[in-house]
Amino acid sequence: MPTIDQEMNAHNFHTSLAVAWISVCLVALSPVVPTRAQTGTWTPSSFPPTNNWTGLASSWDGTSLFAASYDDTDSNPAIIYSSTNTGAAWEATGSPANNWFGVACSTNGNNLAAVVFGGGIYTSTNAGSDWVQSTNAPFGVWYAVASSWNGSNLVAVSAGLYRFIYTSPDAGQTWFSNNVPDSEYWDAVASSVDGQRLVAVSNSNTNGGAGALYTSTNAGTNWTASKLSGINWTGVGSSADGQKLVACGSSSALYVSPDGGANWNPVPGVSGYLTGAAVSADGSKMVVISNGGQIYTSADSGTNWAPSSAPSLPWQVVTMSGDGNVIAAAVPFDQIYTMRLNAQSPPTLTFVLSGGQGLLSWPAPGSAGLILQHNTNPSTTNWQTVTTVPLLTNNQYQLTVPFTNSPDFFRLSQ
């Protein structure tokens, strides 16, 4: 799947039509990550306030959104709705009427999974037009479901009388029980893009104690319990690589992890009974909601948090697009609200052949505070600052890049 630090403008250069290449230069563009919480305007949908919203999911860019509902104002089982314009308008999907309690989608919004509170697990491969119940999944008091980037790897958690976690490696065709304590009332779950790194939280246990937080690095085959204790967990979010995590719960409990759950740092200054959390793919942007009326956001991987301009409502569910620029949140028997963050667009790197050499350039406006970095292997973290000072010509920074016999990757980073 693409990531925020996605490769852009790949170019192969040669001096003639011959097969022999002189060199390869790939230009990669990194995000501009502000150090303050970003803001935007919250927009309510025009949806009739008749649904008890229990789940939200977003495509990579937030264009496609999905909302699960438990019931309506007459206590009738409800359906799942979709939006193809970032929440401006919503339509019913082809889901059957059920007590839906969670929904997840692939990054392109085509592959969906949804769970029923006191029922089964359903999947869709056409953005919700048609749904199929997974016959291999057991009956459960399903609370939440999470998906890999393409919908192949799924994970679902259950509470009530059926306290278990199930995973599917084949888009919901088969499901497998995981080795987790059956004393935990599992409440929320999140997944990395490949479905290998998972994090699940419980709200309480059968002994009357607080909840627990568990992580897995092998798609749920094995689980490790966190040392965090005394917290009734309600929400969790994960970055694409599963390293940057956020978990929230009652009594203003908010923790972030920079290393896949090995260590957790408490976040002060956030108040209320927190009910949900979400993270962008690169882990730089995070959001948590409170049923006391506030929505908090962070734009620096959870180091600093600030209240957003959201109306004071008892927020119940939240989702964030993979690119981190769209947040959707919902209130029971009220509207679904969306906010597009006023994010700064990063300058675009371009690479052209000029005078027998490579010329790297980017616009000067918007480049304040950015540095040019390069890496011969972008799958590693060994990015190094380019020390050569670029020329400023016609409001463009320009840098000559000599040809070599090995690939080199470039990016702008804050």
Same domain, 323 and 349: no
CATH number at residue 123: 2.130.10.10
Please check whether residue 312 is in contact with residue 271, taking contact to mean a CB–CB distance below 8 angstroms.
no
Verify that 357 and 276 share a domain, yes or no: no
Q: Are residues 81 and 114 in the same domain?
A: yes
The answer to whether residues 276 and 358 belong to one domain is: no
pLDDT > 90 fraction of the chain, expressed in percent and rounded: 69
Whether residue 53 contacts residue 336, with contact meaning beta carbons closer than 8 Å, is answered with yes
pLDDT at position 19 over 50: no
Domain assignment present for residue 2? The answer is no
Condensed to tens digits (0 to 9), the pLDDT of residues 109-131 reads: 999 999 999 999 999 999 999 99
Mean pLDDT score, 311-340: 96
Domain boundary among 305, 340, 375: 340
In angstroms, what is the C-alpha Rg of the chain?
23
- Cα angle for residues 96, 98, 103 (degrees, 5° grid): 90
Q: What is the pTM of this model?
A: 0.76
Q: Is residue 37 situated within a structural domain?
A: no
Shared-domain flag, residues 56 and 138: yes
Residues 202 and 328 in one domain: yes
* Residues 307 and 296: beta-carbon distance below 8 Å: yes
Strand order through the sheet with 213-216: 184-191, 198-205, 213-216, 224-225
User: What is the average pLDDT score of the chain?
Assistant: 87
Residues 70 and 25 in one domain: no
Task: Determine the pLDDT at residue 414.
Answer: 61
Q: What mean pLDDT comes out for the span 74-81?
A: 97
- Residue 322, pLDDT > 50, answer yes
Comparison of pLDDT for 410 and 175, the residue scoring more:
175
Instruction: Give the domain-ending residue among 340, 369, 395.
Output: 340
Q: Residue 35 — very low, low, confident or very high, per pLDDT cuts 50/70/90?
A: very low
- Residue 357 resides in a domain: yes
State the CATH number of the domain containing residue 356: 2.60.40
Q: Are 266 and 226 in contact (CB under 8 A)?
A: no
The pLDDT assigned to 220 comes to 96
Q: What is the pLDDT of residues 168-210, one digit of tens each?
A: 999 999 999 998 999 999 999 999 999 999 999 999 999 999 9
At which of 319, 340, 361 does a domain end?
A: 340
Q: How many domains does the chain contain in total? A: 2
Closest-CA residue to 195 (of 216, 180, 213, 225): 216
Work out the end-to-end distance of the chain between its first and last CA atoms, rounded to an integer number of angstroms: 23
On the question of pLDDT at 72 being above 90, the answer is yes
Q: Are residues 253 and 126 in the same domain?
A: yes
243, 231 in Cβ contact below 8 A? no
**Whether residue 248 is found in the same domain as residue 137:** yes
Domain that holds residue 330: 42-340
17: left (phi over 0), alpha (psi -120 to 50) or beta: alpha
Q: What is the pLDDT of residue 26?
A: 39
